[in-house]
Structure 1
Amino acid sequence: MDNLVELFCAVDDFCHQFILQWETQLITDGTRKRKRSSAMSFGERMTIMISFHQSNHRDFKNFYIGLVQRYWTEYFPTLISYTRFINTMSELIVPMCAYFETVKGKPTGISFVDSTSLKVCHNIRIPRNKVFAKTGKRGKGTMGWFFGFKLHLLINHQGEILALNISPGNTNDRTPIPDLCRNLTGKLYADKGYIGNKLTEKLKRSDIDLVTTVRKNMKRKVISAFDRAMLSKRYIIETVNGQLKNISQIEHSRHRSEAGFMLNVISGIVAYCVKKQKPRIKISKSELETMAV
């Protein structure tokens, strides 16, 4: 349980600094409302959410009732019921997003971008979906049509997540790129879905060199051997997407609210960020220096 204690200490230290500043900046409408505080702190509840996405459990209910309430009571002495925990989960979205900003990676000069689908229901149940009827959209990816959202991910060559964006499923992959690359410089590698002269020129003005593969009906571009090697290793971001879906469980069809969906996604991403072993590309210092020339 050393990892659990270590995770709680890091999360709780962050919460002690963030929560007070956050609550003082909240805007109210002037009416007095009853606010029932939870017996568990923000740090405890965030630790449980992150731990769920690090475990092998497929649904949160079995994780909370079968593991947390049976074996972790000594670590969480003021543990609340499962129903009460679910009712307070929406409070964790903003702190979890803020915590992501502290655990995300830093630019290394070599970045990869890609998008992946976040399906919220099976295709045959699209007409009956009420939770995401107004926000989810139909989109098409490499695996066919889906209903839900897209996760746009930006990572460095060490497998660390630099930025992310969640958009409706019908969003063009190129649309969120300028916002994702706001604090980025260097090489950005992507697939042919990101080809576009306007996007390339816009990124170039921000000192970002967009390198993509080419379509079959396009002329081959002359690129350096280093860029060709990095394009061949673009599978790293697909590996990250696979771990987010299969290990961190950021995609499932059991959501009962939009708030639950958002917390599930960001908690799973934070769980990946705090993981020590990540997929990475080994690049020597001499290769990095060659790229900079």
Structure 2
Amino acid sequence: MLRDKITEFFVELDDFCNEFSSQLKHVPVLESSPVKSRNRHGKLSDSEMMSIYLLFHYGQFTNFKHFYTQYVCKHLGDLFPNLISYVRFNARQERILLPLMLYLKYKGLGKSRGINYIDSTLLRVCHIKREKQHRVFKGVASKGKSTMGWFFGFKLHLIVNDRGELLSFYLTKGNVDDRNIDVMSAMTKDIFGKLFGDRGYISKALAELLFQDGIQLITKIRKNMKQQNLSDVDAILLRKRALVESVNDELKNICKIEHTRHRSVKGFLVNLISGLTAYCFFPKKPSLNITPIETNQLCLWAA
């Protein structure tokens, strides 16, 4: 099964990398740097490296070093005849960051269907007690607080549709509020219809801003707030907000986008983007049994 999946990854990514390379040739070159650098092809192509990363994040392994040295090198040598050492592989990982991000942006993300869910999840980079002595993300990550307590790291903001497909994502420092206007504006550019969130997104100014763009923000209410005038369908969909939490759970526990062993910021980004991309290849995602019909209403399917 894994061998079939690696073939699927490689075919898809190799086609994209070839297209990306052809488009890159037409980009005008800026002033050349005084520092000379070699621009030769490596033994292991970018599409092969990206395929290996996606296979790791597909959910069968938890430690990348053990995965590469004990599984890829020993059992996938016929699929990757030009494998390099683990140290060299890590040294070259930053070169695949840009093509991975572009693939996720233009090929991996889904499309809004009018029913959208938003949530944020924390990404710890170290234990909170080691915050002051942490060096890798010093000046980059920050201290924040969630319902689970204090943490040091980042926040990943996600919007998914009713099929569990990623629509947009945004990475911020840990102390950035979920209702940040700049973050919400950037994430909802291609979103329409209804956007369901938890109490952390309660904001009159945010709701009015999104309404101007054709998006209705629907959130749970606090105990001291007046009851909302929601339709039966909206009330049901609001109770299904656990969908986006299930997506966050799969990203962390299956795709392993969070761990505290990073040795560089670029390595953290490669791990995050490849995990999000691997999730897009999942054949079965958390979803709701609903479908829009021609009357712009919602028809609930039988469970």
Q: Matched residue of 2:62: which SS?
A: coil
Q: Does residue 1:30 correspond to 2:33, yes or no?
A: yes
Distance 1:262 1:219 in 2: 42
Q: Matched residue of 1:147: which SS?
A: strand
Of stretches 197-206 and 20-29 in structure 1, the one that deviates more from structure 2 is: 20-29
Given candidates 86, 92, 99, the residue that maps to 2:103 is 99
Match of 1:196? 203
Match of 2:154? 149
Match of 1:218? 225
Match of 1:74? 78
Answer whether contact 2:100 2:273 (CA < 8 A) is retained: yes
- Write the letter of the residue equivalent to 1:54: Y
Which residues in structure 2 correspond to 1:4-43 (within 5 Å)?
4-22=6-24, 25=27, 27=30, 29-31=32-34, 32-43=36-47
Q: Does residue 1:164 correspond to 2:166, yes or no?
A: no
- Write the letter of the residue equivalent to 1:166: L
Of stretches 252-261 and 92-101 in structure 1, the one that deviates more from structure 2 is: 92-101
Which residues in structure 2 correspond to 1:107-126 (within 5 Å)?
107-126=112-131
Gapped regions of structure 2 (runs ≥ 5): none
Match of 1:140? 145
Distance 1:288 1:62 in 2: 53
Distance 1:181 1:18 in 2: 26
Q: CA deviation at 1:251?
A: 0.1
Q: CA deviation at 1:21?
A: 2.2
Q: Does residue 1:56 correspond to 2:60, yes or no?
A: yes
Q: CA deviation at 1:34?
A: 2.8
Match of 2:5? 3
Q: Percent identity?
A: 40
Instruction: Mark the CA change 1:33 to 1:285 in structure 2 (over 3 Å): closer, same or farther.
Output: closer
TM-score by length of 2: 0.92
Q: CA deviation at 1:289?
A: 2.8
Q: Matched residue of 2:120: which SS?
A: strand
CA RMSD of aligned residues (A): 1.6
Deviations 1:44-90 (A, max 9, x none): 00000100101321121000001000000000011111111100000
Distance 2:61 2:226 in 1: 48
Distance 1:54 1:38 in 2: 25
- Write the letter of the residue equivalent to 1:196: S
TM-score by length of 1: 0.96
Q: Matched residue of 1:165: which SS?
A: strand
- Write the letter of the residue equivalent to 2:232: A
Q: Matched residue of 1:100: which SS?
A: helix
Q: Tell me the number of residue pairs that the alignment of Structure 1 and Structure 2 aligns.
A: 292
Distance 1:197 1:22 in 2: 44
Answer whether contact 1:19 1:95 (CA < 8 A) is retained: no
- Write the letter of the residue equivalent to 1:116: T
Q: Matched residue of 1:128: which SS?
A: coil
Deviations 1:110-132 (A, max 9, x none): 00000000000011111110001
Gapped regions of structure 1 (runs ≥ 5): none
- Write the letter of the residue equivalent to 1:142: T
Q: CA deviation at 1:20?
A: 3.4
